Structure 1
Amino acid sequence: MNNLESYPPDLRHQDRRQHPPPPNPDQDEELCDPDPVPIIDLECLHHDKLEEACKNWGLFRLVNHGVPLTLLKELQEVAKELFSLPFAVKEGACNGSPMTYFWGTPALTPSGTALPRGPQNMNWVEGFGVPLSQLSHFNPQLHTLESVRVLLMEYERHLWRIGRRLFEAMAKNLELDVEGSKEYLAEKSGMMRVYRYPNCPDTNVGWGMEEHTDSSVLSILNQDDQVGGLQLLNHHQWFNVKPIPNTFIVNLGDMMQAISNDRYKSATHRVSINKHKERISLCYFVFPDEEAVIENSKYKPFTYNQFRAQVQEDIKAIGQKVGLPRFHHYHNSQASLL
């Protein structure tokens, strides 16, 4: 697992060999911070609590989600096995398959392919992108990838159930037409990304993942239950989101903020580097139908397909995502955002 040959060359750091972990690496100071993240119980879904979490935080911890603990553990174990393979094996394993392998950047194209890396967008992360609608057509030659495929097919059914229920509750709170808003959450759009954040004694190398918002409607994170690193920006203050076993972290993305006419917030978050232990996380993203039109008082009519294309254009042109401000009614010129 800690074999340097398993990491992409860009993420190998020689200091890793010179600093053994302390006797109790789980006692990192970052995990001792108070965790104020709202808690939502899926079995007993309280609409007022959900409304408050979406408006004030854009992120919450989900309990009683109904996903078997055995499945969560198996996913973490097979992810560790996958990432421990030699870099060259991982790089070649996805050729000709819908699954993609990336490293060094969270900025991904719709297919999950990493955009070109550079000093401005280098991140201490590697991962696999899996378009879930294509899992049944995926016939991997690598045994570990086949194990991933089988587990993700079961996992997807649970995550879609959770995402749909949460979205329907949010739509009710927003007084959206239930039938008319169904196109805002498309099961076929589901994407899974499996991340590994290498540990590094020199945390000045950068971030595991830099500050950003997701473009999704909802993102559902199954994070490492031992190693922290996820941080949330709220009211101009960064909070550590503590890892707690058998819970999910759900955050709202840009599409949910737009659908809600800015009543809900897209969560700004980042991932820090752990000095002593690497971190594995699995995140499920779900989006609207590509041609579903989002239109309200704050935004010009736009589709997710248009939003995605604009994000890619901005990343290539200026090196970063601009996102929702591009589609605000008040946005009249590109120069006002640069």
Structure 2
Amino acid sequence: CFREYFVHKFRAMLGKNRVIFPGEKVLLAVSGGPASSAMVRQVQEGLSREAAKRLRFIPGLVYVEEGAVRGQSLEQREQTLAQMETLLQATGFPYHLIHLEEALQLPPSILQPGPERSSPSGPSYKEAVDSFIQQQQRQDGHSGTSLPGHSTQDTPAGSPATPRLPDAAQSRELLRAFEAAATATAREELLQMLRTHLIVQTARDRGYTKAMMGESLTRVAVKLLTNLSLGRGAFLAVDTGFTDQRHGDVMVVRPMRDYTAKEIAFYNHFFSVPTVVVPPLFTKRREKPSIHQLVERFLLGLQEEFPSTISTVYRYGEKLSPEPAKASSESQRCLLCLCGLDTEGGEW
């Protein structure tokens, strides 16, 4: 019963929004944590022939290795990489292992939204589905063995050998950038920005039009209050909504945002979903915790006494509009987050 509920919620979220068309390439961002691992399992089951309502997109996986800024030794980083590669290989999907150090070599185009792609599937979602089903039936008639959502070039990427870490000089340069951030909050924001840039650039380079993030309802609620505290209230809808179209050619979607952290933990436990634990971001001696950590502790503490706290905060975010985040011109766009500059005081 719980499994059917969990599966239905995931597919209903995708079906209700209808932003992922049949045959599209979708990049799943995997951190090894509970939410992203559960998301990958849902996609695996949704693509199987036994699924009642099969998913019809072409998945790929990406993992951003962040051991350099999480205080891991070289041996620990290699061990984590090996664990993640084993987990990604087991899915059978093409995957990409990238390091956070690669953010230092990103092209300047990452600071600009790409040209929006016209939908290749037709003017309507229904027509796209019908066309895709007919195409699959023709392929099945010729071969009889084709899998839905997979094409011949989508073979697992990556080398089976031990993953190679970046040069020590690159790691030191990255660490200097993080150590230059004055507070733990600034480092958290920098890490999130670099991670997102790497995922979007990987999607662009590999031809993916969508990127799936495994952010749970609990994480979305924490981000809502965190961004309010950081003065990013105008951008809450794009930072926490189901879709985020600020990057233009790559749309970010969050299909796990209806699941609480407890639901995900139960699902992973009952159905043996593998996860990989990574340490938190490093902190300096006698440093105050980041706003992200304070908000998370505050919300989880309230949740223990008042069980509807997190869901109430989440529902508040559902009512927000993404319009305030749109930039009126290039000069009014933030280079880091690609949202409109919220510098003009409006009338109250």
Tell me: higher relative CO, structure 1 or 2? Use CA pairs within 8 A at least 6 residues apart.
2
**TM, length-normalised to structure 2:** 0.23
**TM, length-normalised to structure 1:** 0.24
Bigger CA radius of gyration: 2
More helix by share: 2
